[in-house]
Structure 1
Amino acid sequence: MQDCLFCKIVAGEIPSQVVYQDEKVYAFKDIAPVAPVHVLIVPKKHISSLEDLGPEDADIMGHIVLTAAKLARELGLARGYRVVANCQEEGGQTVYHVHFHLIGGRSMQWPPG
């Protein structure tokens, strides 16, 4: 998608601090971290929101969760971490490309804050 911020990051048009990538996903450091570790994991395929997922996207969503767990181990988050996906405006989604926040390195509270 031409105007999608995350598509431009995945394409290398906008610089990012890459943490991991493979044929399906791209993971990079968040520019406004809320914890010592804050990585965004995005599918390379453009999907606007969780509401736009179809059965054909089950494989990539599973791959994202497995990637989050792998990165958590590699980034030393053995004491715990949070994986968050915001959906639509009231859910806090600000970039309309499905993405998951991997957050850790400090104690997490509920509700988030």
Structure 2
Amino acid sequence: MTARKDGCLFCAIVAGETPAAIVLDTPELLGFLDIRPVFKGHVLIVPKDHVDTLLDLPSELMTPLLTAGQDTATALAAAVECQGTFVAMNNVVSQSVPHLHLHVVPRTKGDGLRGFFWPRTKYAEGEIEQYAARIRAAY
């Protein structure tokens, strides 16, 4: 049983109450595709126990979280043939869901992403699960 916060979208995803395209599932962490990705293949990695921000993250989860980010960046390179990744975390300001989450965004040279302006895209019907399957297979 994980510690959760009522009304938290990511806690509901961890509990299996809200569907998500899961790409990573460890005892401590869950990785899934952002439904409003910067670029297709954009993964969010969350602690399974509810944690509001980086300032609240228990020290024993720091290494697993960054290792999962590293493993996800490696998987994305193979799965979506990106040249690199953008890895980021917001704390309170610009944190759309108040549950700690690490963004791992696939990048290619000339993709148009500038600074901290994050335009969002959408998946076509059924496309999100295709991306999730490719990323899962690349871990």
TM-aligned CA deviation for residue 83 of structure 1:
0.9
After superposition, the C-alpha distances for 1:17-45 in whole angstroms (9 at most, x for unaligned) are 00011100000000001113200000001
TM-aligned CA deviation for residue 71 of structure 1:
1.5
Larger CA deviation: 7-16 vs 73-82? 73-82
SS at match of 1:9: helix
Q: Which residue of 1 aligns with 2:62?
A: 61
What pairs up with 1:12-91 in 2 under 5 angstroms?
12-53=16-57, 57-76=58-77, 79-88=83-92, 91=93
Q: How far apart, in 2, do the equivalents of 1:35 and 1:95 lie?
A: 19
Q: Which residue of 1 aligns with 2:98?
A: 96
Q: How far apart, in 2, do the equivalents of 1:110 and 1:17 lie?
A: 27
Q: How far apart, in 1, do the equivalents of 2:50 and 2:17 lie?
A: 15
- Is the CA contact 2:44–2:102 (under 8 Å) kept in the aligned structure 1? yes
Structure with the higher fraction of residues in strand conformation: 1
Unaligned runs of 5+ in 2: 118-139
Identity of aligned residues (%): 35
Greater C-alpha Rg = 2
Unaligned runs of 5+ in 1: none
TM-aligned CA deviation for residue 9 of structure 1:
0.3
Please, what TM-score do these two structures have when normalized by structure 1? 0.85
- Is the CA contact 1:25–1:43 (under 8 Å) kept in the aligned structure 2? yes
TM-aligned CA deviation for residue 110 of structure 1:
4.7
TM-aligned CA deviation for residue 78 of structure 1:
6.6
TM-aligned CA deviation for residue 3 of structure 1:
1.1
TM-aligned CA deviation for residue 79 of structure 1:
2.6
Please, what TM-score do these two structures have when normalized by structure 2? 0.71
State the superposition RMSD in angstroms: 1.7
Amino acid in structure 2 at the alignment position of 1:95: V
